[in-house]
Amino acid sequence: VEIDPDGTFKYILVRLQRPGGEEQRDIVRGTKAAEFHNHIFEKVNPEMEKLGYECKCLGGGKIDHNSKDKKIRVFGLSTGYGKADHSVTVEILKKVYTDYEITWSDDKK
């Protein structure tokens, strides 16, 4: 998981896989610096290829991260990639933000 420490920003759910390998791993990336979801993927993809992974974007949305109140809300969708499975995203986030309240919805805002 690599997301900004505060604010509301776009995120993508990315599946990593070794070429020809069975094992898959999903990662979450999100940042205010990205105007569009594909900007995040364009940064992640070359980084992961250097590590020997193939990347596939499973979709996107938005994250509202409030580190002061220890709350994260996952919502929305990506116009280009479609909606990520927010329930998967939340499970990944819970592994890192263990003491947070993390929720998701299909709301657009």
pTM for this structure? Answer: 0.95
The residues carrying an active-site annotation are: 37
- Render pLDDT for 32-51 as a digit per residue (tens, 0 to 9): 999 999 999 999 999 999 99
DSSP 1: -
Sign of CA dihedral 106, 56, 71, 98: positive
Query: Mean pLDDT score of the chain, rounded to an integer?
Result: 97
Domains within the chain, CATH numbers bracketed: 2-105 (3.50.20.20)
- Render pLDDT for 73-87 as a digit per residue (tens, 0 to 9): 999 999 999 999 999
Sheet bearing 101-104, strands edge to edge:
2-3, 24-31, 6-17, 54-66, 71-75, 101-104
Residue 10 is assigned to a ligand binding site: yes
